[in-house]
């Protein structure tokens, strides 16, 4: 496994699966959402710009995202491959990414399209909490941290993302349907797209993904 893209609506479990994949296969997990959130927290110029869009559940403009990802993928730790979570999110980004890997003589191995129906996503997102420190995902009902508000893994603060508020989630789902779901067809044409049913327990979804990735 070298270069893999995780596709799927917000709340499909991309972040949770990405963490598990990156541990098992020892591959770097790159989440554009995490990079933007870190920039927002540090108050960088990129973070300030990105926040305007993130708070509304809109996508950050393509140029900002492509430059950021292109720069990140040239770091030494990406030499042996990476798992992209949250990128590409538009056809423009996918075409940009294709040119980027082609220029380097690399190839994209697999696109995992984790599908979950909207009616399952809303309650999932309403109860979702994440760790400010390590990004671990929790749920108030199905997977609460052992101590309320404290991450089991790193002791960081467990909080609700501003963009997980119901109104914003509804907009993120619309943005996904309009701007990101055309990527499913885009990648299906390349024969690299594998559909994974994400409406199952985390471990079951992970088993399916491992079967697709091989040993
Ligand atoms: P995520 O954590 O992947 O749900 O991303 C959170 C937010 O960051 C999104 O709602 C967007 O505002 C922004 N974002 C993350 N990745 C991208 C991307 N590839 N293109 C545009 N905006 C992005």
Q: Is residue 33 part of a domain?
A: yes
Nearest-CA residue for ligand 1 atom 1 is: 33
Q: Is residue 86 part of a domain?
A: yes
Q: Which atom of ligand 1 is nearest to the CA of 57?
A: 10
How many alpha carbons fall within 13 Å on the CB side of residue 172?
Answer: 25
Q: Which atom of ligand 1 is nearest to the CA of 10?
A: 4
| Contact 10 CB / ligand 1 (< 6 Å) | yes
Q: Is residue 90 part of a domain?
A: yes
CA distances from 132 to 34, 68, 194 (A): 10, 21, 31
Q: Is residue 64 part of a domain?
A: yes
pLDDT in tens, 20-35: 999 999 999 999 999 9
Tell me which residue has tokens 């697709």. 212
Tell me, yes or no, if 89 is annotated catalytic. yes
| Contact 94 CB / ligand 1 (< 6 Å) | no
Residue 79 φ then ψ, to 5°: -55, -40
Nearest-CA residue for ligand 1 atom 14 is: 33
Q: Is residue 97 part of a domain?
A: yes
DSSP 131: E
Q: For the whole model, what pTM was predicted?
A: 0.91
User: One of 3, 14, 37, 124 is an active-site residue; which one?
Assistant: 14
Total number of domains in the chain: 1
pLDDT in tens, 54-78: 999 999 999 999 999 999 999 999 9
What is residue 1's predicted lDDT score, i.e. its pLDDT? Answer: 63
Residue 199 belongs to a domain with what CATH number? 3.40.50.300
Residues 6+ apart with CB under 8 A from 145: 129, 138, 151, 152, 158
Q: Is residue 147 part of a domain?
A: no
């Amino acid at each position: 496994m070298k270069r893999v893209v995780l596709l799927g609506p917000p709340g499909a479990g991309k972040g949770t699966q990405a963490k598990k994949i990156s541990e098992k296969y020892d591959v770097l997990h790159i989440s554009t959402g995490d990079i933007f959130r870190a920039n927002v927290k540090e108050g960088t110029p990129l973070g300030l710009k990105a926040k305007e869009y993130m708070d509304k559940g809109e996508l950050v403009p393509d140029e900002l995202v492509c430059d950021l990802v292109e720069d990140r993928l040239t770091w030494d730790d990406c030499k042996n491959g990476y798992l992209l979570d949250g990128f590409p999110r538009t056809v423009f980004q996918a075409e940009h990414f294709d040119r980027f890997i082609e220029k380097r003589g690399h190839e994209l191995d697999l696109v995992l399209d984790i599908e979950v129906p909207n009616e399952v996503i809303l309650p999932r997102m309403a109860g979702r909490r994440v760790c400010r420190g390590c990004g671990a995902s929790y749920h108030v009902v199905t997977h609460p941290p052992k101590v309320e508000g404290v991450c089991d893994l790193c002791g960081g603060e467990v909080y609700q993302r501003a963009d997980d508020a119901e109104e914003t989630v509804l907009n993120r789902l619309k943005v996904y349907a309009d701007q990101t779901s055309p990527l499913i067809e885009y990648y299906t044409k390349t024969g690299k797209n594998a559909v994974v049913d994400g409406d199952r327990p985390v471990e079951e979804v992970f088993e399916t993904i491992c079967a697709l990735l091989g040993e």
